[in-house]
Amino acid sequence: MTFYKYQGTGNDFVIIDNRQDTFNKNNTKLIAFLCNRKFGIGADGLILLENHAEADFKMVYFNADGNESSMCGNGGRCIVAFAKFLKLIQHNTTFEAIDGLHHATIDNRTVHLQMKDVNTIETYANHQFLDTGSPHHVQFVENLSDFNVKVEGEKIRYGQPYNEAGSNVNFVEQITKNTFAVRTYERGVEDETLSCGTGVTAVALALHKTGLIKDNKVILNVEGGVLQVSFNIENNTYNNVMLIGPTTQVFKGEIEC
């Protein structure tokens, strides 16, 4: 099997060109094997690029545990770069993911990916909850660099009110007026990842909703680099939400499976 390895601010993916529909999407053990860092290739998730009747292509995303998952923002940015590599697109594209159609542009290796509109942000005493294509818990903490994201994130991910379905968990600390540090525990990976695209998108919108930022563009420092999120607001809905950041093709290879 031929595969490509991509990363977007440290969030890494095995990407396979499945336009011939040869990959067995029901084989969770195979997907988990390919994502395994000891026995397989190693990745936070696996992405299939497939044909689409109307859009440029279709994105199918699986978590590292082998199960098909909700939207992955950094994965979406990486598959746009992969589509350009395959010469399916030039600088603009529309593709379908599990949460609907996404528009994107790519300039060199930087991808601007339009995320879903958000009209509901639940605000509680010490956190916010919203869905940016995947569910996200957003919580401020102090001394983020020393914070045990895996232990504390796991407690929240499986705790009330998320239970079995679970939620991704983002811990946030303010750096400057419009710059924030974010560390994320991702369900499906069941650990901290170096970056989460839907996570920083959720953080940006939650910061604006709670009045912690006034601008409509936020800089998010993640463990794997820097992302930006911009957005508009109309009729209490966040729209034209853009996730902006770099992508890199790390290598191409073949694996026996």
Report the b/e string of 101-135 with b at 16+ CB within 10 A. ebbbbbeeeebbbbbbebeebeeeeebbbbbbbbb
Residue 257 appears among annotated catalytic residues: no
- Catalytic-labelled residue, pool 35, 78, 196, 257: 196
Active site residue 78: no
Report in angstroms the alpha-carbon separations of 65 from 40, 44, 46, 240.
13, 9, 10, 31
Q: How far apart are CA 188 and CA 138, in angstroms?
A: 18
Residues in contact with 248: Cβ distance below 8 Å, sequence separation at least 6, in sequence order: 6, 7, 8, 109
CA separation for the pair 112, 114 (Å, rounded): 7
Tell me the Ramachandran region of residue 145: left when phi exceeds 0, alpha when psi lies from -120 to 50, beta otherwise.
alpha
Residue in 226, 184, 252 with CA at minimum distance from that of residue 9: 226
Q: Which of 35, 72, 78, 257 is catalytic?
A: 72
3-state secondary structure of 22: coil
Structure-token pair, residue 181: 């540090």
DSSP-derived pairing of the beta strands 168-176 and 179-186: antiparallel
From the CB of residue 191, how many other CB atoms can be counted at a distance below 10 Å? Answer: 15
Q: Is 143 exposed, middle or buried (0-12, 13-18, 19+ CB in 10 A)?
A: exposed
**Is residue 35 within 8 Å of 46, Cβ to Cβ?**
yes
- Active-site amino acid positions: 72, 196
